[in-house]
Structures are given as C-alpha cells and as structure tokens.
Structure 1
Amino acid sequence: MSPSVKIPTCAWTRPIGLGWEKPYTVRYASNLDDGAWHGMPLGGFGAGCIGRSHGGDFNLWHIDGGEHVFQPMPACQFSVFEQSEDQTQAYALSTATPEDGTLGAWTWYPASLADETTGTYHALYPRSWFVYENVLKATLTCEQFSPIIADNYQETSYPVAVFEWTAHNPTDAPLTLSLMMTWQNMVGWFTNALKSPDVKVRDDGSPEYAYQPRIGHSTGNFNQLTGNEQQLAIVLRQPELDRPAEGDGQWAIATRLNPHLYDVFYHTRWNSAGNGAELWTTFSNDGSLLDVDDETPAGDGEQIGAAIAVRFTLKPGQTLTLPFVLSWDFPVTEFAQGVEYFRRYTDFFGRNGQNAWSIARTALKHHRTWQEKIVAWQQPICDRADLPDWFKMALFNELYDLTQGGTLWSAADERDPIGQFAVLECIDYRWYESLDVRLYGSFGLLMLWSALEKAVIRAFARAIPHHDPRDRTIGYYLTIGAESPQAIRKAKGATPHDLGAPNEHVWEKTNYTSYQDCNLWKDLGADFVLQVYRDYLLTGATDVEFLAECWDAVVETLHYLKQFDLDGDGIPENSGAPDQTFDDWRLEGVSAYCGGLWIAALESAIAISTILSKCDRGSAPSTTQSAATFTTWLAQSRAVYTTKLWNGHYHHLDSDSGSNIVMADQLCGQFYAQILGLPNVVEPSHTQITLHTIYDTCFLKFNTYIQTQPLQTQPLVQSSRFQTPSTPHTSQPAPPTPIGAANGVRPDGSPENPNATHPLEVWIGINYGLAAFFLHSGMTAEAWTLIESVVHQIYENGLQFRTPEAITATGTFRAGHYLRAMAIWAVYGVLTNFETSNSETSNSETSTV
C-alpha cells in the first residue's frame, strides 16, 4: 500500500475479486441469496445506501427505504490509466465484467487467484480500502467511507460516500496516472412502480409484497456540470418538480480542482448502455476525457452517464492523495401510497431534492475531519492489546446493518426532536425493529447512538395502548397443513412484535408479521420492559423523563401478559404453540426462556417505579400500587420457576412438554438481571452449573456429533416455518471447525428431532449473547472459543455484510442481513461494563455549506 495510508490491522481482508470455493448457500428457496459478493455499505443512516463488493463493482442499492435491489451497475465505476516510459495500461477497477456485453470497449481489472493476488480489499466499518498491487507499476489505494460517527446525529445521516485515492510511485522513473469516476443517471429508478402491491402469504407462512423498481426509466433525465474555483461536480438530475416524490432527486459526482498538481477532465453525457468507447478511447490513450458539456435529456429507452477524470504525474518516490465524492439527494421515503416521510438529512440540506451538489461540496470540505472523528471513536478499541483482531473486526463490521438494514431515520419534529429510527429484522422478514430480536441486536445502537435507541423504544411505548381489530390469517398453520384461526392484528395492551413494514405505515401500523399471532407471545412484554430499564440504566441513569414516558406502557403490557397465567402461579404459561422468539419451537407451560424474562422484567418494573416515586413522576395507576402488584407476582414466580424447571444440571425447556432438550438461551432473563444489577432470577450456583452444561452440550457435544454423525435431515413436511430445502441437507460435509452452539439438543449433543428447525440451527446473535453471558459469569475461555467459532463461519464463508440469523451443520444459512447479529456489542459491553457516551445531542462541529 502507499506509505501514507494506514489501514488498521484488524480490518477484514480478502484478495480483490477472489471468490469462494464453497460459500454458505441459502437453506430454503424462499429465502434471499444474492451470493457471496458483498462488501461494506456506503451511506448515512436512513439516507439510503449502496454496496461495493470486494471485486470492485457497485452492486447493492438500498436507495428506497426498506427495499432491496442487488445487481451490478457497470457504468457506476472507477477506472485507472497508467503511463510509464515503456507502456500504457487502463482498467475499469472491477473484476466483474458485464455479462451482457455492456461497456465492451473497456478493459476490466484482473481478479486475484488463490496463489496470485492483484490486490487486497480491507473493511472495518464504516471505512474500507482497496489496495491494488502487482498489475500497475504505481501503488494505488482507495479508502472509502461515509461519516458514520458515534454519538453524532447530523453527519451520520448524510447521503454521501467519500473515495480518497492515494497514489505512490515506487519506481525510479516518472509515472502518469489518471483516475476516472463514472456514474449512471439513475434518478427515478428506486421507488416501487406498484404503488399498492397486494400482500400475500408465501409458502413459509410470512407475508410478502411485490417490489418492482423503475430501473432503466430515465426519459428526461440529464446531467449538468457545476462547480466553483476549488471544486468540480456533475449533477445527475431530472426536470425540477414542485415537490419531489419517492425516487425523485439527484446524484452528484465531484472532486477538487488543483491545477498545480493535476488536470481535471469531464464528460457530462455518454451512453452508459453502449460499449463505452466514447470515454475509453481517449481515457485509455492518455488518461483524458473530451470535456463534453451536454445537458440534452435522455430520450425514450436511452441511458446516460457522467464522468470525471483526474490526471497527474508522479516523480519517483512521490505520493499524491485526492478525493472523489458521490452524493445523492432523494429526500422522500414513501410507505403505503401517500404515506410519506422526509429523511433525517433533510433537516440540514432542505427538502426539495435539489441538494446533491451542496452535500458533495460539504463532503469535499469536511471529509478529513470526518475521517479523524471516525478514527477517534474506533482507535481505543483497535489499540486494545487484550482483544484479538478478529473480534475487533467483527465488532465494527456487524454495525453495517445500521446503514444497510433498510434503515429509516425521519426528519425531526416537535414530538421527535431527532426524528424516528428503525432497522428491518432482515430482508426476508421485512418488518422493522422486531422487539424479540432487538433484545439482543440493539446493544450497538444503545452504546453508540443512544438517542436513536431510545427513539425506537418510545415508538413501542406509544404503540402498546393501540388496538387494531382487523382480522388476518396466521401463516404458521398453513405451513403445517392446518386450518388457520383468524386473529386480530394488534390487541390493546399487547407489546407489538414490530413497528410495521415499508409498504404500510411504519411506527403507526405495528405487528406486521402474521406468521404467528404475536398478541399471544409470552416474551414481548418482558422484552419491552427490560429494554426500557436497560436503556435508562446504561446511558447514565439520569434520563428520568424517558422512564416517565414509558411507564404507563410498562404497567399496561405487564398486566396484559399476566392474563396468560391461567393457573395463577405467577408466571404466564406458554400455550404449546410457538409463542416467543423461537417461533417454530413449541413450548408448553412454564418455560425457562419466557419465565426468566418475566421475572427479570418484574424486577425492572419495580426498579423503575422506585425511581419515578423518588422523583415524584409516573401516572395512574400509581407507581406505588403497581410496584406492590408486581412484587406479589414476583414472589409467586420465583418459587415456581425453580421448583418446576431446575433438575440439578440445567433448567428444563418447559414444565409440560416432557422435552429433555438443553436450551442454549434458557437463562436470558438471568443474563439481563446480571447486567442490570437486578436480583438474580436463579441462584448463582445454578447459573454456573447451567452455563457449563450449555457449553458442554450445545457447543462441544453438538459439534462433535455433527462431525462424526452428520445430520441426515429429511425434507420438512410438518411443523416447519420454511418450505422444503432447495438442496438436500447432505449436499455439503459438516464444517471441519466448530460452527457455534445449537439452540437446543439432548444432553449428549444429539437432536431430539432430526427434522427440527430452530433447535438445530446455530443463531449468530444468540451465540454472541450467550458469549456475553459467559464472560459476565467468569467463563472467559469458553466465551472466546464460542465467539471465534461464529466469527470464523461468517467471515470465512462468504457471509460478510449479510450476516444471517442462522447457519446449519450442512453449510447453509437462513435470513441474511439480520438484526440480531449486532449482539456482538453485548460482548464488548460486558468487557467495558457498558461504558457509553451519555451525551444524546450531536457533537458535530461542521456545518452545511
């Protein structure tokens, strides 16, 4: 790499363009599998984002909030020209040659081979690097990033990507280089052409709707040269509108001007669907462009692109650094037709969709400051000698989902002074902030952007009193061939499962998922209460106003949940249907998982009532009365929990099913009690014995079992959330290294039911949460062994930047781009005693230009 470029040693690395011999493949045909070519996303929270793979192609487009488009756009590209004394060469810096012959005049960068590299890709979110080697005589490095900065609520929202190029001449003769950025005018492409898509229940029981982006519809779009004495840009735009709709706006590409160091060329209109010769002829000859300034709009069926090139000569030993910027301004997110929100960044740049150049100009002015701030919040972790590099790598890279997870961040208003925020459960299960999942996956948001975390919890608190009586079919029963009961969408007092979906009205119409009747779930109410108290306690224990805002919802949802205590023993019973986060796993009676969460939630509610009483806050029913009620329930629950479930080695899965499974996450409630300083759910000695049993059974014995007796799972016919696998489960051998802890197996590590789904899966987020529990309980060696096994599976098998919910012993995965995996931040929280930056206002020093 160039001498001036410092890449953290803990960054994830992959040879440029090198594929995988056997990457993980999707487990079920109805699940999304775009393949292993994923790289770190670029873009601000809720601004839409793009992804560039380690092959160099821009291939992921989450410009429309909550929607997923994955396909390379060949005209969106960087290219390099190099001239030395004896040769010239030019390459488009992607190893993905267009399969349809588009841009056939271009020469594409050679991919690395197993024994011969053409460079290396590095990623440590929110920064990534391409280091090009062994092809050019120059050493060329590109650092790409967006201003994702901890505890920052302004720049973190910006729709912008910075590409800082560093070129170094290691030879003893001059080298002339030119860097070219090309971009396609895609204004208007990223919105659903089906404005009122029908919602259907697909074969795995989940609701889905059709998404049809307007890709290729460019008629009337045009490109406009602009700039000033220091900067040059091309704005890719459409005719001005009185008010932009979703998909309306601008792109911009830009760079600095410095005639003492380099020459800048441009071409505002070229055929991006042709062979590309109109650019490549001059660029590959001498690194120049024709300086074409043409604002002619695109005709019917026509595609147009723009290009900027920067040419310079390096003396022997000389290094030059220069920036390119990509910005976009699509200010409107539309849910159902007519339900529109402005994005957070519009609070700083306006809402007319005409501000791409202003955003790019701001980036050219402030990108070095942004870099410094990113380094400042990452460096203390990167410098820790007691943490392995692979852990630091995964810790930062799992935050990718805050950009790429269909993220929404609305503009501010009087009720929500920093806007509202939401991240999808995943792209397969396309609904926002699933509460059972974020019980694990929200630690990163809590520790780094705590004001956004509290905004999510406030949205749940507002939703709990609402009632939505619309009937709907429950998908689970369709998958098992049974008649589905009709269930109302949202019962008053029930904690909703999620905050809604992109095709309706997020934050207002909740409980979108219909796979199960979530009004009957036994963990959601407890999950809500625990997250309320956690978010107060772990952000400085000073925000009493937050507790007061949530208190009525805490009381209402606990009373709602208590109605499922049918035998009056203090603990709500599971019904025998999958009625908790393991929603394909039947629990009956008092369960270890839900019962423990219930006890910890009651302790949290009592703690909240004490705080509010001391501050003379809270509302009817009075905090004192509620605390007394909760204390009574708690006394009953504690005795029942241990009596019914403890067997001397672990806690039974539940009291009534007769299952002898050891459940990996059986004491999640105890983990929360420990990190929140609450009274223990179970005796400390029972916790230690249980955790050792879990490690021995669900991790050691399970992995021994799958390596000696690979699972011969048959096609799933009954009791399955998922359709028949697209390939047999025996298509790949068991992994040679441990894959993590299974959710639940018999004491000898074998499956209770070899055709089970959830028990035999390794859930990434559950494993991280379990490892955090191990660490907090003094099982340090076991924790690190477990974490390393999971990180290895993700980052060595093509699952990077699409971390799934689950992997299996046969090399398959389910539900990529999953929220729960950010539970790795719970591990770091335990290591640091959950140190967070408690300021919840922006520390931004830059300003809008």
Structure 2
Amino acid sequence: MNNQIPYTTFNDKSQKLCAPGNAVEFIQPWYTPISTTPENTGIAVGGIGNTFTLTPLGSTPNFSFIPGIFIDNNSNEFNFNDFYVSLADANSIENLVIRNFTELKHFLSFYPVSCQNAPLLNDSLSELQLLTKIKLALTEGNFYSENKEAFKRWNVEFSEKSKALLTSDETCPLTQVNVAVDFFNGLLINSSAQSLSLTATSSHTKITAIESASIDFKALYPMAEFDYHVFETVSIKRKVVSPVVKGDKKLCSLPIHWNEFELINNGEQEKTVTLVQSLKNLLGSTYHKSRPSVQDSACYLSQNPIKQKHVKHQFSYQSERAFTGVCLSSESPYASDIDGDVVFGIDVDQQAIEANKVTVTVKPSLYSNTEEDIILDALQTGRVNAHFDSGIYTAREALSAIVCIQVVLKPGESQSVRFSQVMDHSKIHLQDWLSEKAYVQYYRDHSKQNRAVAMMEDIVPQIDAIEGRIVERQNGFYEIAKNNFKDQQKALKFSTMAMNTLSFLAESSVWNVEDKFLVKECVDYPFFNSLDVYFYGSYSLLYLLPEIDGCVMKEFAKAILAEDSTLRRFWEYEDKPNAQLIDPKFEGVRAIRGAVIHDLGDPLIFNPMLTVGTMLKNGKISHLNLS
C-alpha cells in the first residue's frame, strides 16, 4: 500500500480508543448536551462540508452533509462505509454445499436444469442426494453444455470470470463450479467461507461483527488506517482518504472519498478473499428536530424512498485500471433535504481481471430489508448478479446497492483493491437562503444528473497523485514543528493534533459556490462563526485555505457596518415577548453600526444576508480574549 500515514500519535486498538474516559459529561441545570462519547466520535470523511463521521469501530454514527445540520445515526440505521469480508479456500466441487434445501427446490421449479438428460430435481431426492447429483454433473463436465440453451433462454448472468473460463475450457471442473455458483445464485455456496462485518457495532444477526480488540486504528487527517487481525493466514489493511489538500480549493470541496484495501496471503495455500460494500439510498430523505424547542442542530433522518433509480456504471482509465460500480439517484417529484446522486464502486488493475485473479460484480438494486441475506450470499459465493428480485415493486420501497470483489491469492501474493464513493448532495437551503455547495463551480459543464459520474471519472485517475500531495504536506508540517520544538515527542504530538484539528473544520462547515464559508461552533451551540471560537479555530483554515479565511473576514467587516433597529430579545426571553426582564441587557436593537457581531447566524434561524447574526449586535457581548 503506497502513501501510508507518515506519522501519528493517535493510534491504538479500537477497543481502547473507543472506551469511556474519565471526563464527566457536561450536563448543566438548564441544558443537557447531545451525547458525545469516544464510541461515537471519529474522523470526518469527505470534502469540506460534505462529510460523515467514521469511528475506529467502523461505524458512521452521524453526518453533516446536509448544510448546518447534525444527523444523529447512533442507532446504526445506515452506514456509509459498510464493508464485509470473507476468507475461503479455493472454489472446488468438494467445498460446495446447499445453503437452503427448500429454497433450492423452489428455485429449480422455475429453472429446471438437466443432469444426464433428465431433470435434476425430483421429489424423492433428499438434500444429500441432490447435492451428490449436482457434484456428479460438475465432475463429469457436462453441466454447462447440457443446459446451455436453457441458460440463454433464462438469461442467466455469468460473471466475467465464468465467461473467461468458458472460453478457455467449458468442461474443466473449475469452469463447472463457477457456472453452477453463478446459476444457483447464492443457493450453492462455499462451505469453507468465514464471513465477518468490518463494523464492530454491526447490528446484523447472521453475519458476525469483528471484535473491536481485533482492529488497530490510526489517524492523521485526512487519512485513517485500519489493520484487521481476523484471519491467521491473510492480513487485511484498509486506508480511508478524503481529498483535503492544502491550498487546493477544488479538491478540498469535493464530496468524494475512497477506501483502499491491501490483502496479503501469508499462508502456504491458495485463498479466496471476498470484499462487499453495501449502501442504502437515502435520496429523498428529510430531517426533523430530535429535541423540539431546544437550541441545537441535532436531527433525525426520515427516509422517503420514492422512485429510487439504480444503474450500473463502468469506465476504464490509463489503459490499465477499470472501475465498476453503481449510480444511485431518485426520480421523486417531491422536495427533500437530500437530493442529487451517489456513485460508488471498485477500481482494480485490469491485468488482474484478465488473469482471473479478481472478479468484480454488482447488484444495483435490492430491497434494503433483504440486504443482510444478499450480503451473506455474496460472501459465501464471491459474487452477486444484477437481478432485482422485486416481487410487486411500487417505487415506494427503500433500496440499497451492493458491489462485490473476489480476490484469489496464491501463497505470498498481495492485491490492492480500492472502493471510491461520490456523494453529490449540492443543495444549501438555510431558511430563505438557497445556494449550492462550492464544488458545483468546478463542474458547470455537467448537468446535475451526471455530475457525480463526472467527479468520479475526473478524480479516480488522480488518486495516487492526490495522496502523494497529502503525505508531502503532512511531512512538511512535521518538519516545521521539529524545527520549532526542542522536545521531538512534543513536535510529533503537536503535528498530529494540528492535522486532526482540520477534521472539525471539514465536518462543521457550510461552503457555497461564492465562497461564503460558515463554521458551526458545535451541534449543541449551532452558531456560525461565533467570533470567540472562530478566532482560535480559524488557524486551521488559515493553514489550509487562507483565501477562504479572508472571505469570512469580509463578511464580518460588512456586518460591523450593518444596522437593524428591530427590537428583539434573546436567551430565555427570545420566545417570551411579554415576560418581565430580570435585566434590560436581554433586550435591544438587532444591530448597531460599528459593533462587532457575535456570529453569522445559525442553521435553523438564518439571515440570508449574513450581516447581523443570531445574537444581539449591540456592543454588550464580549467573549474574545485577546490578552
């Protein structure tokens, strides 16, 4: 794996990193904050203003890509990096077993294949007898040839690997096994497969979740690395990267990230590794306040799945890499808080595909409530197909999509696999202010319907170079720190802290096409650019994108000259216009010319002019410590 994290002091077992600490929760008599614990805290993933939180446990407990809004997902209802892995011996006739005898018989009633010129299934066969009969047909090498015309008639989908094997030798046992696995579509599985969810907090009941003690985690924003200690003979490492590069506005703004897996066979036998990513389509969703009347920006998501549309997408680049994935969209006629498109998929070395070392398959559409069963089938067979087992589809059902890669590793071999993901949710809608996110300005030549695909095809070929620039700047900062600290351990800690501070900037900001840049103080106190906090917090923006910090200062300069004689109250008197004030300072005109404002608004009570803020601009508020 190239371009790994060059240094960090934030590294340990996920179990330890996510264990409760000694700090007392900040609960006040007048306010109970949103629960924040080591278990639901992590690194921001995605470009600035387009992020979700990824924890060392592999969960995504909240996200902030709806501008200004914090969506609470502590229930693990969805996961934006939902990965699974299985390890199995090489496919063989001996390893095949029937997953569910009743389902297999039902399947064969629709697709009655033949064996030795007679129907494979008859009512007198037991499960063992039927399996023995299937294995005999595969051993004799005539399963495909005897049913070839039927497969065409039934439009059976064979993987690229199966097609290549059929071209080479359609009678050999390996070809027969792959054909059978594809045809039976999850009903005939590899008995040696060991399956795991790579999310320690996974709620699935049929797929075992990895233990947090088996994950080593490290982070140096915008990168994180997982080292999974789950299989004796095969090592699995994962790198997560967001395109946040110092001085590059375009890359910093993009709603893209990628996960690279490195697989190494340290054993003495050939092994097959299958990686699966599943993603729910959240397009059409809306949010609602989790605590009505409370001054915070915490909300829950309500899915509204109407006319969700999923299609396969492929492209090649640099004559040596191939991307295969799925584009998620919605044709709903109704307004929502999450719109746009999502594209995710796998890109690998074209030579590895041609050599049958890797096989990439996708299932563009499946019902979200069937997700676990289909994932498990994929892990136990190493593939999926595009068939949507829809039954009576009304276009009101929640859909998911799956991408799957099977990797064959000989002893001592390694393989790198990359999953990339674009989440194009460009709308900014804060009260009366309607705008678009900053990255839209770089893709004006593309329609809204194909912008996500354009971003994917633009950035994926640059990933290695982008990572190189990230590591170069991380090392450059560390060198400066080492030259300014006598204690080199302090230099290391300082550099780690400084880099990881950028994660807060990415997940708490709203950034539009005109470079209006709003940094939310926190979910509990959701004011944009609160001047006391922003003064200290702006150092990270000055380092990353100094031009954008200048834009923020212009907004404050305009606000100082603004006037608004509207009389209003604040604090506990904001919704009590007739209550007796305990102090006249809790009422005043909204803005006095020459006074410095406290903030640039908040996401739920927002002034589109960005000139007067949420709290009073009357010269009576002073938090900034300049001493």
Pairwise TM-score range, normalised by the shorter structure: 0.7 to 0.9
The answer as to whether partners of 2:307 and 2:332 remain within 8 angstroms in 1 is no
Query: Residue type of the partner of 2:42?
Result: G
Name 2:339's counterpart in structure 1. 248
Query: Residue type of the partner of 2:311?
Result: Q
Name 2:309's counterpart in structure 1. 222
* d(CA) in 2 for partners of 1:59, 1:273: 20
Match of 2:219 among 102, 115, 123: 123
Q: Could you say what secondary structure the match of 1:445 adopts?
A: helix
Matches within 5 A, 1:326-725: 326-336=421-431, 338-350=432-444, 352=448, 354-383=450-479, 385=482, 386=485, 387-388=488-489, 389-405=492-508, 407-412=509-514, 419-475=515-571, 482=582, 485-505=586-606, 508-514=609-615, 517-521=616-620, 579-581=621-623, 668-669=626-627
Any idea what the Cα deviations from partners look like across 1:411-461, whole Å, max 9, x if unmatched?
A: 13xxxxxx2212112221111111122222211211221101100001111
Paired residues in the alignment total: 495
* d(CA) in 2 for partners of 1:271, 1:79: 18
Query: Residue type of the partner of 2:68?
Result: G
Any idea what the Cα deviations from partners look like across 1:199-235, whole Å, max 9, x if unmatched?
A: 95x5xxxxx2776555221122121112234321201
Q: Could you say what secondary structure the match of 2:12 adopts?
A: strand
Name 1:81's counterpart in structure 2. 86
Q: Pick closer, same or farther for the CA change 1:53–1:211 going to 2, 3 Å.
A: closer
Q: Could you say what secondary structure the match of 1:228 adopts?
A: strand
Match of 2:56 among 34, 54, 57: 54
Q: Could you say what secondary structure the match of 2:212 adopts?
A: coil
Q: Pick closer, same or farther for the CA change 1:215–1:448 going to 2, 3 Å.
A: same
The answer as to whether partners of 2:343 and 2:421 remain within 8 angstroms in 1 is yes
Name 1:322's counterpart in structure 2. 417
The answer as to whether partners of 1:249 and 1:354 remain within 8 angstroms in 2 is no
Q: Pick closer, same or farther for the CA change 1:294–1:84 going to 2, 3 Å.
A: closer
Match of 1:170 among 262, 266, 277: 266
The answer as to whether partners of 1:298 and 1:304 remain within 8 angstroms in 2 is no
The answer as to whether partners of 2:284 and 2:332 remain within 8 angstroms in 1 is no
Q: Pick closer, same or farther for the CA change 1:299–1:506 going to 2, 3 Å.
A: farther
Identity of aligned residues (%): 18
Q: Pick closer, same or farther for the CA change 1:245–1:27 going to 2, 3 Å.
A: closer
* d(CA) in 2 for partners of 1:297, 1:365: 40
Matches within 5 A, 1:80-119: 80-84=85-89, 87-98=192-203, 103-112=204-213, 118-119=214-215
Q: Pick closer, same or farther for the CA change 1:507–1:402 going to 2, 3 Å.
A: farther
Q: Answer 1 or 2: higher relative contact order, Cα 8 Å, separation at least 6.
A: 2
TM-score of the superposed pair, with normalisation by structure 1 = 0.54
Name 1:44's counterpart in structure 2. 47
Q: Pick closer, same or farther for the CA change 1:227–1:104 going to 2, 3 Å.
A: same
Query: Residue type of the partner of 2:308?
Result: N
Structure 2: unaligned runs, 5 residues or longer: 96-191, 317-321
1:275 deviates by 6.1
Q: Could you say what secondary structure the match of 2:456 adopts?
A: helix
Moved more, 361-370 or 394-403: 361-370
1:42 deviates by 0.8
* d(CA) in 2 for partners of 1:297, 1:153: 47
Q: Could you say what secondary structure the match of 1:255 adopts?
A: strand
> Which of the two has greater strand per residue?
2
Q: Pick closer, same or farther for the CA change 1:380–1:467 going to 2, 3 Å.
A: same
Q: Pick closer, same or farther for the CA change 1:426–1:193 going to 2, 3 Å.
A: closer
Query: Residue type of the partner of 1:236?
Result: L
Moved more, 341-350 or 498-507: 498-507
Query: Residue type of the partner of 2:47?
Result: G
* d(CA) in 2 for partners of 1:421, 1:144: 26
The answer as to whether partners of 2:296 and 2:523 remain within 8 angstroms in 1 is no
The answer as to whether partners of 2:20 and 2:37 remain within 8 angstroms in 1 is no
1:509 deviates by 4.0
Name 1:835's counterpart in structure 2. none
Any idea what the Cα deviations from partners look like across 1:569-598, whole Å, max 9, x if unmatched?
A: xxxxxxxxxx4217xxxxxxxxxx6xxxxx
1:135 deviates by 3.6
Structure 2 residue 182 is matched with structure 1 residue 140: no
Structure 2 residue 14 is matched with structure 1 residue 16: yes
Match of 2:385 among 287, 290, 305: 290
The answer as to whether partners of 1:41 and 1:400 remain within 8 angstroms in 2 is yes
Matches within 5 A, 1:291-306: 291-292=386-387, 299=394, 302-306=397-401
1:17 deviates by 4.2
The answer as to whether partners of 1:12 and 1:124 remain within 8 angstroms in 2 is yes
Matches within 5 A, 1:781-796: none
Q: Could you say what secondary structure the match of 2:532 adopts?
A: helix
Any idea what the Cα deviations from partners look like across 1:481-503, whole Å, max 9, x if unmatched?
A: 93564212211221111111223
* d(CA) in 1 for partners of 2:556, 2:193: 61
Matches within 5 A, 1:820-835: none
* d(CA) in 1 for partners of 2:284, 2:336: 9
Q: Pick closer, same or farther for the CA change 1:210–1:175 going to 2, 3 Å.
A: closer
* d(CA) in 1 for partners of 2:245, 2:403: 29
* d(CA) in 1 for partners of 2:469, 2:392: 40
Q: Could you say what secondary structure the match of 1:237 adopts?
A: strand
Name 1:828's counterpart in structure 2. none
The answer as to whether partners of 1:496 and 1:511 remain within 8 angstroms in 2 is yes
1:264 deviates by 0.4
Matches within 5 A, 1:690-769: none
TM-score of the superposed pair, with normalisation by structure 2 = 0.73
* d(CA) in 2 for partners of 1:294, 1:66: 38
1:330 deviates by 1.3
1:125 deviates by 0.4
Q: Could you say what secondary structure the match of 1:171 adopts?
A: coil
Q: Pick closer, same or farther for the CA change 1:294–1:461 going to 2, 3 Å.
A: farther
Q: Pick closer, same or farther for the CA change 1:238–1:58 going to 2, 3 Å.
A: same
* d(CA) in 1 for partners of 2:550, 2:19: 40
Q: Could you say what secondary structure the match of 1:273 adopts?
A: helix
Query: Residue type of the partner of 1:343?
Result: K
The answer as to whether partners of 1:92 and 1:109 remain within 8 angstroms in 2 is yes
* d(CA) in 2 for partners of 1:64, 1:23: 33
The answer as to whether partners of 1:56 and 1:95 remain within 8 angstroms in 2 is yes
Any idea what the Cα deviations from partners look like across 1:178-215, whole Å, max 9, x if unmatched?
A: 111110001122x4468xx9995x5xxxxx27765552
Any idea what the Cα deviations from partners look like across 1:164-186, whole Å, max 9, x if unmatched?
A: 11111122222211111110001
Q: Pick closer, same or farther for the CA change 1:94–1:217 going to 2, 3 Å.
A: same
1:65 deviates by 0.6
Q: Pick closer, same or farther for the CA change 1:91–1:247 going to 2, 3 Å.
A: same
Q: Pick closer, same or farther for the CA change 1:452–1:357 going to 2, 3 Å.
A: same
Query: Residue type of the partner of 2:416?
Result: T
The answer as to whether partners of 1:14 and 1:120 remain within 8 angstroms in 2 is yes
Any idea what the Cα deviations from partners look like across 1:318-374, whole Å, max 9, x if unmatched?
A: 2211211111111111010x4201111001124625422222222321111110110
* d(CA) in 2 for partners of 1:163, 1:347: 26
Structure 2 residue 325 is matched with structure 1 residue 233: yes
* d(CA) in 2 for partners of 1:432, 1:177: 46
The answer as to whether partners of 2:257 and 2:420 remain within 8 angstroms in 1 is yes
The answer as to whether partners of 2:60 and 2:79 remain within 8 angstroms in 1 is no
The answer as to whether partners of 1:335 and 1:503 remain within 8 angstroms in 2 is yes
Name 1:67's counterpart in structure 2. 69
Structure 2 residue 257 is matched with structure 1 residue 161: yes
